[in-house]
Amino acid sequence: MRVAIDTGGTFTDCVYLSEGQLRVVKIFSTPSDPSLALVEALARIHADTDPQVRHGSTVGTNTMLERKGARVAFVTTGGFEDTIAIGRQARSRLYDWFAPAPLCLVPSELRFGVPERVSAEGKILRAPTEEELATLADQIRDAPPEVRPQAIAISLLFSFANPETERRVEVALRPLGLPISTSHRILPEFREYERASTTVVNAYLAPRMGSYLSLLENRLQQQHPAGRVDVMQSSGGIIPVRLAAQEPVRTILSGPAGGVIGACQVARWAGFERIIGLDMGGTSTDVFLADSASAGPQHTRESIVAGVPVSVPMLDIHTIGAGGGSIARFDAGEMLRVGPESAGADPGPICFGRGTRPTVTDANLLLGRLDPETFLGGSVHLDRPRAERAMREQKGPLATAEDFAAGILRVVETQMEKAIRVISIERGHDPRQFTLVAFGGGGPLHACSLARALRIPTVLVPAMPGALSAVGILLADTVRDFSRTVMLG
């Protein structure tokens, strides 16, 4: 049995084939341990003895956004230790004298140089001695307790042309017992800063992602000894769980990538080629554009994830912090704000019975866009009186709770409209020539308003919009990405 499970901030979606029918199970996520919801989903569908589980995970994404990754020791060619902090000359706000410095995941105390040099052609000009490598290992081992590293990233100058020295450094540091990421394996390409940054991100994610995937695999095999776990990549392909644990940087957009694949497939089956995708979940909204659904979505190698450059192949997805669980509030000037803070699965929106702060879901319920009796197939009853009472108490300067709810929807739809403009109009595409594919738990609720604002003529809502990301994971191909800079001439 092949099963696809997409773990979101609020819900975990499980899609599987049974007797020729595509079936869906949707349960609340368990943010403290996402593997618990996955195991519960498998128990609910009565999976057989050897399920092939395909998993879309948000662990990597959340680790970056929440800054909860490992302390990383960065090892590079002597004299280039601060490359990871200096970054590039380009700035998003060119004339801002107080523009913030590029985000660096490695403190200065954990940047180490190796006395080595390789030419641009790959010739070793200066190799470190065994004594120098032993000294490097001692320096990392003796780092102060408050900054003691939990992972190591090695990115030497021109290692893409000749990785021999980088391999020697890796061997010398292996006795430290820390996860090691090397640039010649992660990204053997030119462009020193991007290669170093991508390698550091991989090391930053490795301990947390590795322990999560190991726990998930162990729990699955306790219930299903012959079961197997594969993981969705940011590029839209499936890789084995062991490879995902070694190279977690490839899984940062794991969940959203499934939605892109699913939307392109559904659009192609429905006869639409040029599409704009709108995936509104509980915590965030992802938008993307595809000129040809048959040819597949667009890819990029120049992504910025939580302020950090990542240069592995990814689907070109633009994300904003606006979802069904996004919290509404009034700022000091009594301006209505929505997101990016989300109520998530716990406590969740007010109408779920635990939350106390108004969310987009509460606004949709109050305005009659959601049926409190049929939510999640009737398995969850939405408490409309509770939501109405709380929104009346927190409506601020607005006259009624309904005005508050309508304002919440206007604000969140303005944010989503702006996101669609970024991937379409700002890149030279006319939205009027595209079809809007709306999915996710909240996407279809806002699709018509967005289509009207952007003059998009057609809206396509799939049969199971809330689980389309899991459907995409189920349909995805097994893919292994390889790249290398080759010196010509």
Per-residue pLDDT of the chain (489 residues; tens, 9 = 90+): 889 999 987 889 999 987 788 889 998 888 888 889 988 988 888 766 678 899 998 888 888 877 889 999 999 999 999 999 999 887 777 888 888 777 899 999 999 999 999 998 999 999 999 999 999 999 999 999 999 999 999 999 999 999 999 999 999 999 999 999 999 999 999 999 999 999 999 999 999 999 999 999 999 888 888 889 999 999 999 999 999 999 999 999 998 999 999 999 999 999 999 999 999 988 889 999 999 999 888 899 888 888 899 999 999 999 888 899 999 999 999 999 998 888 887 888 999 998 899 999 999 999 999 999 888 878 888 999 999 999 999 999 998 999 999 999 999 999 999 999 999 999 999 999 999 999 999 999 999 999 999 999 999 999 999 999 999 999 999 999 988 898 786
d(CA 350, CA 15): 28
Cβ atoms of residues 33 and 59 within 8 Å: no
d(CA 209, CA 219): 15
* 318 assigned to some structural domain: no
* 112 assigned to some structural domain: yes
Report the CATH number that the domain containing residue 118 is assigned in CATH.
Answer: 3.40.50
Structural element, H or E, at residue 52: strand 52-56
Sign of the dihedral defined by the CA atoms of residues 245, 250, 253, 255, in that order: negative
* DSSP at 136: H
Which residue from 162, 85, 88 is spatially nearest to 127, judged by alpha carbons?
Answer: 162
* 122 assigned to some structural domain: yes
φ, ψ (nearest 5 deg) of residue 389: -65, -45
Q: Which residues lie below 8 Å from residue 221, measured CB to CB, with a gap of 6+?
A: 227
pLDDT of residue 459: 98
Structural element, H or E, at residue 327: strand 326-330
One-letter amino acid for residue 369 of the chain = R
Inter-CA distances, 393 with 22, 347, 353, 386, 398, Å: 43, 19, 16, 11, 11
Q: What angle do CA 453, 457, 460 make, to 5 degrees?
A: 100
* Residues spanned by the domain of 78: 70-201
* 132 assigned to some structural domain: yes
pLDDT of residue 346: 81
**Of how many residues is the chain composed?**
489
Cβ atoms of residues 23 and 33 within 8 Å: no
Cβ atoms of residues 293 and 275 within 8 Å: yes
Q: How far apart are the first and last CA of the chain?
A: 51
Look up the pTM and report it.
0.89
* 229 assigned to some structural domain: no
Using only C-alpha atoms, what is the Rg of the chain? 24
* 120 assigned to some structural domain: yes
Instruction: Please provide the DSSP assignment of 167-226 as one string.
Output: HHHHHHHGGG---EEEHHHH---S-HHHHHHHHHHHHHHHHHHHHHHHHHHHHHHHH-TT
* 96 assigned to some structural domain: yes
Q: How many domains does the chain have?
A: 1
Cβ atoms of residues 196 and 76 within 8 Å: yes
Chain mean position to CA 298: 17
pLDDT of residue 354: 86
d(CA 358, CA 373): 20
* 158 assigned to some structural domain: yes
Which residue from 395, 387, 388 is spatially nearest to 354, judged by alpha carbons?
Answer: 387
Structural element, H or E, at residue 339: strand 336-342
d(CA 388, CA 384): 6
Cβ atoms of residues 8 and 44 within 8 Å: no
